[in-house]
Chains A and B, each alone.
Chain A
Amino acid sequence: MTEYSRASLLADAPSGYCPGCLHSLATKLIAEVIDDLGQQDNSLNVISVGCSALNILYWGGDFLSVAHGRAPAAATGIKRTNPERLVFAYQGDGDLAAIGLAEIMSAANRGENFTVIFANNQTYGMTGGQMAPTTLIGQKTTTTVYGRDPATTGYPLKMCELISTLEAPRYVARFALNSPKGVNDARKGIKKAFEIQLAGKGFTFVELLTNCPTNWKLSPLDTLEYMNTNTIPYFRPGVYKDTEADAE
């Protein structure tokens, strides 16, 4: 009989994420993969700024909380001095694709041997729903009240596509957490990224399309459908780079 239990690195505390928020699911997937790999004591979570920072309350394993956008830089300092550790950064889209753009691109380009898990919900959730670098064209936010206009704000940044142009990264993939299949694929993708890292092979990047019921002003269920009709057509799930598969 299958036994269902809380992943060992999830703190025994109720989640304070908004109802229906996929951050909790993303965190759970990571914790489950760490259990699968037996890396509970060896893993180190680099926690960024935004709603992702709430993980300091829910993550029961070793973690370092860092400045906005700087997780790949801090992770560089950690992993270079402690290469035996399983190091991953969990970053949102404002953190990673705006203020931290230099840090993520440079760490990826250096081929740092850690994993970045990128939660993309197209908004700044923690600060109340401002436009993010990933906000979709036409999407209304508190700083694009008539909808995002590319004439003045440009276009949503596609991080998997950008990072997969670099030579050094070993695995770059995007998954959508709005369906059981997407969740299962994401879990496998995170596991693959961690395995590549543990083998010492280099930089891995997993983007998770998530939601924000509060700031999208949709019910949790409606956000899942919104993702199907709006998010996924622009941010296409898939494996963008996999040097393991290429070698086979």
Chain B
Amino acid sequence: MGEKRFMKGNEAIAEAAVRGGCRFFAGYPITPQNEIPEYLSWRLPEVGGVYVQGESEVASVNMVYGAAAMGTRSMTSSSGPGISLKAEGISYLAAAMLPALIVNISRGGPGLGSIQPAQSDYLQATKALGHGGFHCMVFAPNSAQEAVDIVYDAWEYAERDRNPVLVLMDGCLGNIMEEVELPPMKERTDADIPEWSLSRRNGRDYQGNITPIYTEPILEGINMMAGEMYKQWEEDDVKVEEFMTEDAEYIVVAYGIASRVSKEAVLTLREKGVKIGLIRPITLFPFPKASLRDLDYSRVKGIIDVEMTIPAQMREDIELQVMGRCPVYEYGRSGGCLLDDDGVLEAIEEIIAGGNDE
């Protein structure tokens, strides 16, 4: 039985990271994620870890690069504009095959956008977190508890793959207060320091190096290995929630905060006799392709993509699986305007009534 606490999403992430073995954090202030660095600034030293407030997002992610190379479980967090600045470092982490956790508590965009919550970074998260054509596993929890569970095990994936992992939440989930059950501290010793790292605490007695620079044809081989890894993720690591989809004629697809509002709408519509369900990607990359590809399209009349961003960003990923077998609709709010129960319900009802044909 874990330890129950009432925590903000951001703080829950920070505590889960510590319990998951994180011992290095570097970051830079940006709303709406500030509770993560604030919490870790006092919490990490309590467990022998290190907190550094970087001079920039760029510096912070490169501090993580250095710490990760030593085999220390390391993370940084930010929000949209800051993640753009970290893009260089995330690309280098992927190139040097270094595990790390990146957290994006997203807000309105583009540009400085707004400091209010929005799901405006789906495309950045899933298609190009930096230059050079690489991917990270992208997790999109929809509650503080799910964020805790995902962050707690984030380094298991990151170290397995020697690749950074991204957790994408929006400002709502980062700032919502919920009950969470915290898992126990993962106790780690020098023997757990990965052999590939530059640490010598694990007993390594030969010279080692880590580099993001490769020459041909080695780089091509590295690219091919990454390609195989992404395919393997699709086999092994897809996480998705399918809710009331068995007999559904309409399917809402939504992740994160949008999935919570959408689930309310689904329940209300079910009470009204509408056969509707919800597919909630928990991993945005790998995307739960099969959940959409294998639907019975002789029954399904429409897919409704609900996101807290305009225009919808997940739509192309959905359409690639629907393959024209039914219409795909979208509804969203953006720019810091939040999705609400009534708005989503009315939008879905209008779509079903044919008021939003595309």
A76 to B74 CA separation, bound complex (whole angstroms): 13
Residues of B within 8 A of A81 (CB): 23-24, 50, 67, 70, 72, 74
Q: How far is the CA of A64 from the CA of B208 in the complex (A)?
A: 9
Contacts of A60 in B (CB 8 A): 207
A66 within 8 A of B: yes
State the interface size on chain B (CB cutoff 8 A): 38
Known: A60-B207, A74-B63. A53 touches B70 (CB 8 A): no
B68 at the interface (CB under 8 A from A): yes
Q: In the assembled complex, which residues on chain A have CB atoms less than 8 Å from the CB atom of B213?
A: 53, 56, 65
B201 surroundings in chain A (CB, below 8 A): 82
CB distance from A88 to the nearest CB of B (A): 13
B200 at interface by CB-CB < 8 Å: yes
Residue among A82, A85, A103, A105 having the largest count of chain B Cβ atoms under 10 Å: A82
Pairwise interchain contact A73-B54, C-beta atoms closer than 8 A:
yes
Separation in Å of the B53 CB from the closest CB of chain A?
9
Whether the Cβ atoms of B210 and A64 lie closer than 8 Å is yes
**A201 contacts partner chain B, Cβ-Cβ < 8 Å:** no
Picked from A44, A63, A74, A105, the residue with its CB within 8 Å of the CB of B65 is A74
The 0/1 profile, CB within 8 Å of A marked 1, for residues 14-41 of chain B is: 0000000001101000000000000000
Taking the closest CB of chain A, its distance from the CB of B203, in whole angstroms, is 12
A63 to B210 alpha-carbon distance, docked (Å): 7
Interface positions of B from 178 to 237, Cβ below 8 Å from A:
198-201, 205, 207-213
Say whether A70 contacts B89, CB under 8 Å.
yes
A51 CB-CB contact with B under 8 Å: no
User: A-facing mask of B64-96, CB < 8 A → 1, else 0?
Assistant: 111111101010000000000000110010001
**Residues of B contacting A63 in the complex (Cβ-Cβ under 8 angstroms):** 209-211
Residue in A64, A73, A103 whose CB lies within 8 Å of B198: A64
Contact of A73 among B59, B210, B211, B212 (CB under 8 A): B59
Chain B residues with CB under 8 Å of A76's CB are 26, 52, 59, 63, 66
The answer to the question of A38 belonging to the interface, with a C-beta cut-off of 8 Å to chain B, is no
Minimum C-beta distance from B346 to chain A (A): 48
B27 shortest CB reach to chain A, Å: 12
Q: How many residue pairs, one in A and one in B, have C-beta atoms under 8 Å apart?
A: 116
Give Cα A95–Cα B144 distance, bound, in whole angstroms.
41
Instruction: Give the CA-CA distance A119 to B129 in the complex, in Å.
Output: 33
A53-B74 Cα distance, complex, nearest whole Å: 25
B55 adjacent to A74 (CB under 8 Å):
no
> How far is B93's CA from A102's CA once the two chains are assembled, in angstroms?
21
Bound-complex Cα distance A34 to B70 (A): 20
Among B55, B64, B198, contact of A106 (Cβ-Cβ < 8 Å):
B55
Q: Does B10 contact A (CB under 8 A)?
A: no
Q: Which residues of A contact B114 (CB under 8 A)?
A: none
B89–A65 touching, CB < 8 Å: no
Q: Which residues of A contact B208 (CB under 8 A)?
A: 62
Tell me the bound Cα distance from A91 to B247 in angstroms: 63
| B59 x A67 contact (CB < 8 A) | no
Quote the shortest CB–CB distance from A196 to chain B (angstroms): 21
A222 CB–B CB distance under 8 Å: no
Residue A181, interface by CB 8 Å: no
Q: Is B56 part of the contact surface with A, judged by Cβ < 8 Å? A: yes
Residue of B whose beta carbon sits closest to that of A11: B207
Chain A residues near B64: list those with CB within 8 A. 77
**A77-B209 contact in complex given A66-B62, A67-B88, A103-B59, C-beta closer than 8 Å:** no
B144-192 contacts to A (CB < 8 Å): none
Q: Does A106 lie within 8 Å of B23, measured CB to CB?
A: no
Which residues from A are CB-within-8-Å of B26? 76-77
Known: A67-B212, A103-B55. A62 touches B207 (CB 8 A): yes
Residues of B within 8 A of A61 (CB): 207
Inter-chain CA distance A162–B200, complex, in Å, is: 35
- Asked if B88 contacts A62 (CB within 8 A), the reply is no
Which A-chain residue is minimally distant from B59 (CB atoms)? Answer: A73
A80 within 8 A of B: yes
B66 and A46 form a contact (CB under 8 A): yes
B58 beta carbon closer than 8 Å to chain A:
yes
**Inter-chain contact A66/B59, CB cutoff 8 Å:** no
A41-B205, A64-B210, A76-B59 given. 20 additional CB < 8 A pairs? A56-B209, A63-B211, A65-B212, A66-B62, A67-B212, A70-B58, A73-B54, A73-B60, A73-B62, A74-B62, A74-B69, A77-B26, A77-B52, A77-B64, A77-B68, A77-B69, A78-B67, A81-B23, A85-B200, A103-B58
Nearest first, the 4 closest Cβ-Cβ pairs linking A and B are: A77-B66, A74-B66, A77-B67, A73-B62
